[in-house]
A and B are shown apart, each in its own frame.
Chain A
Amino acid sequence: MDTVKQRQVQNQELEEVSVRFCGDSGDGMQLVGTQFTNASAIFGNDVSTFPDFPAEIRAPAGTLAGVSGFQINFSSHDIHTPGDRVNALIAMNPAALKTNVKDVETGGIVIVNEDAFDKSDLQKAGYAVNPLDDGSLSKYQLYRVPIEKLNADALKDIAGEIGAKSVGRCKNFFALGIAAWLYNRPLQPTLDWINGKFGSKPTIADANTRALKAGYYYGETAELFPTRYKVAKAKLTPGKYRKITGNEALALGLVTAADLAQTPLLYASYPITPASDILHMLSGYKNYGIKTFQAEDEIAAVTAAIGASFAGVIGVTGTSGPGMALKTEALGLAVMTELPLVCVDVQRGGPSTGLPTKTEQADLLQAVVGRNGECPLCVIAARSPGDCFDMAIWAVRIATRFMVPVILLTDGYIGNGAEPWILPDPSKFEKIKINHPEKAENGDFHAYARDEFLARPWAVPGTKGLEHRIGGLEKENITGHISYDPQNHQFMIDLRAQKVANIAKILPPLEVDGPQSGDLLVLGWGGTYGSIYSAAERARAMGYNISNAHLQFMNPFPSNLGDVLKKFKKVLIPELNSGQLRKLIRAEFLIDAIGFNKVQGKPFLIAELLEKIIQHSEKR
């Protein structure tokens, strides 16, 4: 112990750190990443995470295709992204090193599990020579740690009891221990988790505990690291917090909306990456009046949700790009029958099967216009994990108020990414008013009569005297009977469009950060908010007089969007697609907006956005 006391470990205070754990998909990287995040959040940092995993459940061990990573950014101030550059990388094998090291900042920390750098694993990763020896990593602080061996040593007392395989499985906790020491993370939250998880298997709990502590003490005693880092608590709004992913927040938002509407909700879905977590979560909320239905396919999921809406409950379906394509015809039915329906699209890389586990924003046009016929509906988009909660409530509010389908766009990045979330006070929410008429006004019931917003009545089966039939054929105005009349068709086309346009009347105006008029407006939408906002803030801090605004309501747009756009000489639209919002803005406002487009299955880096902003602005 004396040596420990005498050691001169430097302590350094940092404002913001980005750490990435990476390894084989069987190495438990998502788990330790989550634990590291929890410890940081509970400690009081602001956090933002980016899990990045392969599409294959178990790609061959040691290959590049099988690498799974989890990045977490934690800081002493407000942050909105998982961080551009990685400050510290923990790589469990050569493949993980190879695919991730390029994201590490120059001079950054690279900790490798040296034991995995044998001939066969090097070969699987495509290394002709061992990168640990050839000087190729000289621009990083490289730490070679025999993690497997050290882990096995730490567990040798119980190896006979649990077996070599279980011992090996603990190595991720050893790695977590090193990282926890390096960044002064508390161990208690992870220890509590281990005990909760393996409570019924005390030896496994013991093994993981030993591995975690051994890693931590290794950092303490091995004299490997000259510096130990601290990141102070962030000054966050006071309140009770939890960590939340976008998919979790969306599920909670739907439950909340059902409660605010005092109306049951049916979530019908077919498993699809990266939307399945919403189904998983909601299926556990039966006691909140939520029913879930795992349908036989995407079409059944959306049509069952439509059936549920017809029957008077809130019908919701959720999917990702390919599933959206399959739901197209049914969305048209919901438009024609004017039923409240919420359709969640957690966007992923496309086209076709595309990049199932990667993020993209390329379903915008599909959502806005991708149906046969003139088929307007409402499209809204969440901008951060926590915002998925609010947007889910908006979706239900709009759908039920206007009797219209609402597509809620999120994406893999915010769906799986996490941030701290302040627990809201349910009593503060505005109720969602549902009106199921109970009898016909003046004797005659008309299924397609209109209120002041042009919404039709939501009369539900079981109500005597309001029996009616609806369907996909064109409706006669007011009565809702089938009509092939040309004038009526034109009238109904216009009416449905006007009804959707009317939604703008209840939407909040678009807000602009920075100067309210000027040379450059950076206009974003959906899940890119964190990076665009951060880049714009940095630009302003550097003296660039630029503004940014972020759209959450895509169809209709907020009523003031046109006015906002007119106040700027240039409009720059960064999107993770080839320019879909830009197309809509150009078409609607005749503005020559500039695009900044990236379609690589990855979120924007703050740095690349900043560079683009600077390129289009003048310093004042």
Chain B
Amino acid sequence: MHTDGSLPVLTAKDFTTDQDVRWCPGCGDYSILAQVKKVLPTLGIPREKFVFVSGIGCSSRFPYYVETYGVHSIHGRAPAVATGIKAARPDLSVWVATGDGDGLSIGGNHLIHAIRRNVDMKILLFNNRIYGLTKGQYSPTSELGKKTKSSPFGTVDLPLNPITLSIGAEATFIARTLDADPKHMEYVIRRAAEHKGAAFMEIYQNCNVFNDGAFEYATVKDMRPDTTLYLEHGKPMIFGKNRDKGIRLNGLSPEIVQLGNGITEDDLLFHDEKMEEPTLAMMLARMRHPEFPEPMGVFRAVSHPTFDDLLTKQVDAATAKLGRGRLADLYDDGETWTVE
């Protein structure tokens, strides 16, 4: 803090550690790190109040590269560690860096429970559809039939959709972004940072060593307008290089329509991220390439009480009602008797 009480002006550099970044050259993780470091100094939170927590995997090296407090924990458990931190210290800004293997496979249970409790933490899920650190086995988000080191004949596992999973867990903030669009990622990270509650972000991340081009359709610049749909709250769902295609509701299903010939923007679905009902978010989450453009942006941002707030309130209420506990009263409880 400055002597005048204002926060010091921080820059991305203030969040850079003295550790060499050890991701492979060209890895999508660099872009995520850069955007996070861009957003953190602008949040008005002192640097020492941030805690980054991770599990195991390439993504989980993240805390070492951010000059704040950090825990590089064990495989899959970051959301649980983060829950403990937030429960203990609600004043901290708690972030989780995880991947599709760490967060959705070995740590799936912790992820859904941190989300359903609405613990105020920001979850960056780096989805590269592969196990990178263990050198190339298929992950829970790998496409069916994918050939990898551990699936030479192709996988026989149907993949998991991180967004539908988070909707099922009643996430209050859900967004998707991609490493190839730093501006959009910055926007999404900022929105997540400003959300109160569990903020879940799926980030398409290219692993150029073991799964290069997994999201090529969405990341190559001139394909992107036709393969992705950038969501904007209150706006019609329009996409395409010429912004001439839209998403319309047909019965209970989405369909792609060509604007013109009597079809106007008003016929399209309008995005509403604040809908309590998750139906729209679910429908958007299930729109997959190549049948549909894949939605990017904020799927859902609703306000629910957070776990840490409720816990703090309970402690405060109990203390207000009963007074701060004294040990002597603690012991002298229930039936007692005196021996002379």
Contact = CB atoms under 8 A, between A and B. Distances in A.
A460 B81 CA distance: 15
Given A300-B109, A300-B110, A288 B330 contact: yes
A309 B51 CA distance: 13
Contacts of A481: 19
A296 B68 contact: no
B69 A467 contact: yes
Given A461-B89, A461-B92, A252 B339 contact: no
Contacts of A426: 326-328, 331
Contacts of A468: 69-70
A303 B330 contact: no
B151 interface: no
A491 interface: no
Nearest to A464: B48
A308 B83 CA distance: 8
Contacts of B331: 242, 252, 423-424, 426
Given A306-B73, A315-B84, A469-B63, A461 B337 contact: no
A295 B338 CA distance: 40
B82 A286 contact: no
A308 B86 CA distance: 8
Contact of B327 (A256, A293, A460): A256
B324 interface: yes
A468 B18 CA distance: 11
Interface residues of B, number: 62
Contact of B325 (A189, A288, A469, A473): A288
Contacts of B83: 293, 295, 300, 304, 307
Contacts of A470: 70-72
A143 interface: no
B243 interface: no
B84 A305 contact: yes
Contacts of B325: 255, 285, 287-289
What's the dominant secondary structure at chain B's contact region?
Answer: mixed
A288 B67 CA distance: 35
A313 B340 contact: no
A309 B88 CA distance: 8
A303 B86 CA distance: 12
Given A268-B84, A303-B80, A471 B337 contact: no
A287 B68 CA distance: 32
A259 interface: yes
B42 interface: no
A311 B89 contact: yes
Contact of B85 (A41, A301, A311): A311
Given A242-B332, A300-B109, A286 B315 contact: yes
A189 B337 CA distance: 11
A239 B110 CA distance: 48
Contacts of B311: 291
A220 B330 CA distance: 40
A461 to B, nearest CB: 4
B300 to A, nearest CB: 22
B321 to A, nearest CB: 8
A293 B84 contact: yes
A329 B89 CA distance: 24
B89 A293 contact: no
Which of the listed residues B49, B63, B325 has the most CB atoms from chain A within 10 Å of its own CB?
Answer: B325
Contact of B87 (A241, A266, A288): A266
Contact of A287 (B91, B323, B337): B323
Contacts of B53: 307
B324 A308 contact: no
Contacts of A424: 331
Contact of B88 (A264, A297, A423): A264
B48 A423 contact: no
Interface in A237-288: 237-243, 252, 255-256, 259, 264, 266, 268, 285-288
A237 B325 CA distance: 27
Given A464-B46, A467-B48, A469-B63, A293 B87 contact: yes
Given A286-B314, A286-B319, A44 B339 contact: yes
B88 A307 contact: yes
Given A287-B319, A471-B73, A310 B85 contact: yes
B71 A291 contact: no
Interface in B287-340: 311, 314-315, 318-319, 321-328, 330-340
Contact of B77 (A239, A242, A303): A303
B48 A465 contact: yes
Which of the listed residues B67, B85, B88 has the most CB atoms from chain A within 10 Å of its own CB?
Answer: B88
A38 interface: yes
Contacts of A240: 332, 336-338
B64 interface: yes
A330 interface: yes
Interface string B76-120: 010011111111110110000000000000000110010000000
B63 A471 contact: yes
B339 A304 contact: no
Contacts of A330: 74, 77
A236 B327 contact: no
Interface string A438-481: 00000000000000000000001111111111111100000001
B330 A307 contact: no
Contacts of B338: 238-241
Nearest to A471: B72
B289 to A, nearest CB: 33
A137 to B, nearest CB: 36
A333 interface: yes
Nearest to B52: A469
Contact of B340 (A238, A301, A315): A238
A405 to B, nearest CB: 14
Contacts of A236: 339
B339 A291 contact: no
Nearest to A333: B74
A193 B56 CA distance: 54
27 contacts: A38-B335, A44-B337, A239-B338, A242-B333, A242-B334, A242-B335, A252-B330, A268-B87, A285-B330, A287-B319, A287-B321, A287-B322, A288-B330, A296-B80, A307-B53, A307-B80, A307-B85, A308-B84, A312-B89, A332-B74, A423-B331, A461-B92, A463-B48, A469-B63, A470-B70, A471-B71, A472-B72
Given A239-B338, A241-B339, A471-B54, 12 more contacts: A240-B337, A242-B336, A296-B80, A296-B109, A300-B110, A303-B81, A307-B82, A307-B84, A329-B74, A464-B48, A467-B68, A469-B72
Interface of B: 17, 19, 46-54, 56, 63-64, 67-74, 77, 80-89, 91-92, 109-110, 113, 311, 314-315, 318-319, 321-328, 330-340
